[in-house]
Structure 1
Amino acid sequence: MLHRLPSLLPRRPPPRLPSPRPERQRSPMSDITHAVQDEVAPAKPYSYDLVPYESQPFSQSEPDQVAAMARLFGLSPVPPEKARVLELGCSAGGNIIPLAARYPGMQVTGIELSRVEVDQGLEVIKGLGLTNITIRQADILDVLKEENQYDYIIAHGVFSWVPEVVQEAILQICGRQLSGDGVAYISYNVYPGWKMREVIREMMLFHAGNLTDPKVKLQQGRAILDYARKINNGDSAFGKLLAQEAELVMKANDYYLFHDHMEENNRPCYFKDFAARSSKYGVVYLGEASLVDMAPQRFGGDIAQTLAMLSNGNILATEQYMDMFTNRMFRQTLLVKEALMPRINRAVSDKSVRHLHFTSELSRGTALDGALGVFNDRQGRVLTVREPVMLAVADALIQHAPFTTSVEDVLALLRSRGVAAERSDEALIEAIGAQFITLLLQGMVKTRYSRKTAVPVSDKPVAFGPARFAAAKGQRVVPNTFHGISALNDVQSALLAKMDGTNTVSEVEASLLARFTQGEFNASRDGSVITDPPVVADVVKNVTANALADFSRGGLLAA
Structure 2
Amino acid sequence: MKDETPYDRLPYTDHAYAESHPNRLAVVARLSGWVAPELAAARILEIGCARGGNLLPMAMSLPGAALVGIDPSQRQVDEALRIAGEAQLPNVRVLHTGFETAELEPGSFDYVLCHGLYSWIAVESRRALLRAIGQWLAPGGVAYVSFNTLPGWYERMAAKDWLRRAPSDEALASLGWLREQVSPELATYRYGLSRVLERLHETDPAYLVHEYLSEEHHPEYVGTFLAEAAEAGLAYLGDAIPQNVALELLPDDVGARVRELEVATTQETIDFVKGTSFRRALLVRAEACAERGWRWPKRLDPAAIGSLRIASRLREESPGSDFFRGARESVQVPDPAARAALRELQRVAPRSLAFQELPGADPALASELFDVWLATGELDLYAHAPPMAQSAGEHPEAPPLVRLQAAHAGDATITNLWHQEVRLLEPLVRFVLARLDGTRTAPQLVREAERAGLLADEASVRIAMDLLAASALLSR
TM-score, normalising length: structure 1: 0.78
State yes or no: 1:274 paired with 2:225: yes
Deviation at 1:441, TM superposition (A): 3.0
Structure 1 runs not aligned, ≥5 long: 1-41, 209-216, 415-427, 524-538
Sort the Cα spacing of 1:94 and 1:401 in 2 relative to 1 into closer, same or farther, 3 A.
same
Q: Structure 1 CA distance, aligned partners of 2:206 and 2:234?
A: 32
Q: Structure 2 CA distance, aligned partners of 1:48 and 1:224?
A: 24
Structure 2 residue aligned with 1:178: 137
Structure 2 residue aligned with 1:162: 121
State yes or no: 1:255 paired with 2:206: yes
Q: Structure 1 CA distance, aligned partners of 2:321 and 2:460?
A: 38
Q: Structure 1 CA distance, aligned partners of 2:193 and 2:155?
A: 10
Structure 2 residue aligned with 1:348: 300
Deviation at 1:478, TM superposition (A): 2.1
Q: 2:449 aligns with which of 512, 534, 543?
A: 512
State yes or no: 1:494 paired with 2:428: no
Sort the Cα spacing of 1:366 and 1:198 in 2 relative to 1 into closer, same or farther, 3 A.
farther
State yes or no: 1:58 paired with 2:12: no
Is the Cα contact below 8 Å between 1:470 and 1:478 reproduced in 2?
yes
Deviation at 1:43, TM superposition (A): 7.4
> 1:186 is matched by which residue type in structure 2?
V
> 1:487 is matched by which residue type in structure 2?
R
State yes or no: 1:246 paired with 2:197: yes
> 1:202 is matched by which residue type in structure 2?
D
Structure 1 residue aligned with 2:311: 359
State which drifts further: 391-400 or 335-344.
391-400
Deviation at 1:379, TM superposition (A): 3.8
Is the Cα contact below 8 Å between 1:292 and 1:443 reproduced in 2?
no
Structure 2 residue aligned with 1:228: 178
Structure 1 residue aligned with 2:368: 435
Sort the Cα spacing of 1:296 and 1:493 in 2 relative to 1 into closer, same or farther, 3 A.
same
State yes or no: 1:149 paired with 2:108: yes
SS of residue in 2 equivalent to 1:198:
helix
Sort the Cα spacing of 1:192 and 1:553 in 2 relative to 1 into closer, same or farther, 3 A.
same
Q: Structure 1 CA distance, aligned partners of 2:340 and 2:255?
A: 28
State yes or no: 1:287 paired with 2:246: no
Structure 1 residue aligned with 2:350: 402
Is the Cα contact below 8 Å between 2:310 and 2:354 reproduced in 1?
yes
Q: 1:469 aligns with which of 387, 404, 422?
A: 404
Q: 1:546 aligns with which of 440, 463, 473?
A: 463
Deviation at 1:297, TM superposition (A): 2.0
Q: Structure 2 CA distance, aligned partners of 1:104 and 1:434?
A: 33
State yes or no: 1:450 paired with 2:402: no
Q: Structure 1 CA distance, aligned partners of 2:468 and 2:75?
A: 31
> 2:160 is matched by which residue type in structure 1?
R
Q: Structure 1 CA distance, aligned partners of 2:419 and 2:295?
A: 27
Q: 1:136 aligns with which of 65, 85, 95?
A: 95
Q: Structure 2 CA distance, aligned partners of 1:453 and 1:432?
A: 26
Structure 1 residue aligned with 2:164: 205
Sort the Cα spacing of 1:127 and 1:43 in 2 relative to 1 into closer, same or farther, 3 A.
closer
State which drifts further: 128-137 or 241-250.
241-250
SS of residue in 2 equivalent to 1:386:
coil
Is the Cα contact below 8 Å between 1:463 and 1:500 reproduced in 2?
yes
> 1:385 is matched by which residue type in structure 2?
V
1:190-240 per-residue CA deviation (whole Å, 9 max, x = no partner) reads 1111122111100100123xxxxxxxx1x4111111111111123423222
Sort the Cα spacing of 1:307 and 1:362 in 2 relative to 1 into closer, same or farther, 3 A.
farther
Is the Cα contact below 8 Å between 1:286 and 1:336 reproduced in 2?
yes
Deviation at 1:460, TM superposition (A): 3.1
Deviation at 1:466, TM superposition (A): 0.9
Deviation at 1:173, TM superposition (A): 1.5
1:278-314 per-residue CA deviation (whole Å, 9 max, x = no partner) reads 1112111000002212212213453322332xxx142
RMSD: 2.5
State yes or no: 1:86 paired with 2:50: no
Is the Cα contact below 8 Å between 2:50 and 2:76 reproduced in 1?
yes
Deviation at 1:363, TM superposition (A): 4.0
Deviation at 1:185, TM superposition (A): 0.4
Is the Cα contact below 8 Å between 2:33 and 2:301 reproduced in 1?
no
1:68-98 per-residue CA deviation (whole Å, 9 max, x = no partner) reads 1111222221222201111010010111111
Structure showing greater relative contact order (alpha-carbon pairs closer than 8 Å, 6 or more residues apart): 2
State yes or no: 1:384 paired with 2:343: no
Is the Cα contact below 8 Å between 1:150 and 1:178 reproduced in 2?
yes
Structure 2 residue aligned with 1:460: 395
1:429-472 per-residue CA deviation (whole Å, 9 max, x = no partner) reads 11111112212332433321124674143443221211111223
Is the Cα contact below 8 Å between 1:454 and 1:553 reproduced in 2?
no
Q: 1:485 aligns with which of 421, 424, 432?
A: 421
Q: Structure 1 CA distance, aligned partners of 2:219 and 2:119?
A: 6
State which drifts further: 344-353 or 545-554.
344-353
Q: 1:118 aligns with which of 65, 68, 77?
A: 77
1:381-436 per-residue CA deviation (whole Å, 9 max, x = no partner) reads x53333323333443443444332443344x2x5xxxxxxxxxxxxx611111112
SS of residue in 2 equivalent to 1:450:
coil
Equivalent pairs, count: 467
Deviation at 1:355, TM superposition (A): 1.0
Q: Structure 2 CA distance, aligned partners of 1:335 and 1:299?
A: 23
State which drifts further: 340-349 or 182-191.
340-349
Q: Structure 1 CA distance, aligned partners of 2:364 and 2:382?
A: 20
Q: Structure 1 CA distance, aligned partners of 2:20 and 2:324?
A: 28
Structure 2 residue aligned with 1:47: 6
State which drifts further: 481-490 or 169-178.
481-490
Is the Cα contact below 8 Å between 1:287 and 1:333 reproduced in 2?
yes
> 1:141 is matched by which residue type in structure 2?
E
Deviation at 1:505, TM superposition (A): 4.2
1:248-305 per-residue CA deviation (whole Å, 9 max, x = no partner) reads 2222221222211111111111111111111112111000002212212213453322
Sort the Cα spacing of 1:277 and 1:345 in 2 relative to 1 into closer, same or farther, 3 A.
closer
State yes or no: 1:297 paired with 2:248: yes
1:492-546 per-residue CA deviation (whole Å, 9 max, x = no partner) reads 222222222343444333322333xxxx22x3xxxxxxxxxxxxxxx52112211
Structure 2 runs not aligned, ≥5 long: none
Is the Cα contact below 8 Å between 2:149 and 2:276 reproduced in 1?
yes
Q: Structure 1 CA distance, aligned partners of 2:36 and 2:106?
A: 21
Q: Structure 2 CA distance, aligned partners of 1:135 and 1:484?
A: 22
Is the Cα contact below 8 Å between 2:263 and 2:296 reproduced in 1?
no
Is the Cα contact below 8 Å between 2:119 and 2:219 reproduced in 1?
yes
Q: Structure 1 CA distance, aligned partners of 2:264 and 2:344?
A: 36
Q: 1:190 aligns with which of 142, 146, 149?
A: 149
